[in-house]
Amino acid sequence: MYKLAVLDIDGTLIDNKGNISKKTIQTIANVNQSGGIVTICTGRNIRKALPVAKKAGIKVAMGCIDGAVLIEPETENIIEGLELSQYEIDLILSSAQGKEVFTEINTGYIYHKFAENEKEYRYDIFNKRTPLGRIKSYMGGVRYIKNWQNLKEISSPIYQIVIAGKSDVISEIKDTIQQGDCSKIDIREHLWDKYLFINKKGGNKASGVERLCKHFGIAMEQTIAIGDDRNDIDMLEKAGLGIAMGNAHEDIKKISGYVTASNQEDGVALALEKFLLKK
């Protein structure tokens, strides 16, 4: 019997307009009332994830930044944060400095972004670089950095660094990082083409779900995970049952034990009803 459901946000819990359906909100409430637990493990940072958790009625511990941070949404108390060390931060940034890349540092609440040349900001896919886009980004916790020195001076904690650029440049940066002592970090290049996602080891959704299970005292075998994208694959494979959204990539569907409806068709609510409410 499943007792815990861990949800991705984008493409999963929310629809294409960023909304959570009334049916989904009610179904989450029904699961909670029945003694089950519904929570989130998302690639979003804390600032971007908390409003969604509030709308969904999720008040228990949740994972942000692909599981690198576990946080209590009501108090915003960080239960556990997998921080990169100063040595690792310096190694990563020095490997990218002087290259034609876009760099993003995630401190939990703020995305710090920098590119030497304007053309590299094309990798900043969530900002159209319009005046309105800049205002929305600022309100959403985005800060654009003026130079490499300022980027290096960003204070801890730092939970994730993302570097994007041409494939050959990204490959060179990865090789340079691996020449240093990177035994305690993970470099993921399979999530998006031409991007490196760099976290402390354990900064992935599978580990995030494992640590959430430990927090709740629930076995992985009693857990379902629901997602739609490549950063969800590891948690879908690790959970007792991995569920792919109907709008998921085909490779996500192939590794999942079940495929629900899309995020436009209450896929999360239907999966919760089927596996946690037995409807």
Run means of pLDDT, 10 residues per run, the chain, 279 residues: 96 96 98 97 95 97 97 96 96 96 96 93 79 77 92 93 96 94 90 91 95 97 96 96 96 96 98 90
Contact 169, 100 (CB under 8 A): yes
**Range list for CATH 3.40.50.1000 in the chain:** 4-81+204-275
Residue 128 pLDDT: 66
- The domain made up of 4-81+204-275 is a member of CATH 3.30.1330.60: no
**Range list for CATH 3.30.1240.10 in the chain:** 86-200
Residue 182 pLDDT: 87
Residue 67 pLDDT: 96
CATH class of 86-200: alpha beta
Residue 193 pLDDT: 84
Residue 141 pLDDT: 86
Residue 156 pLDDT: 84
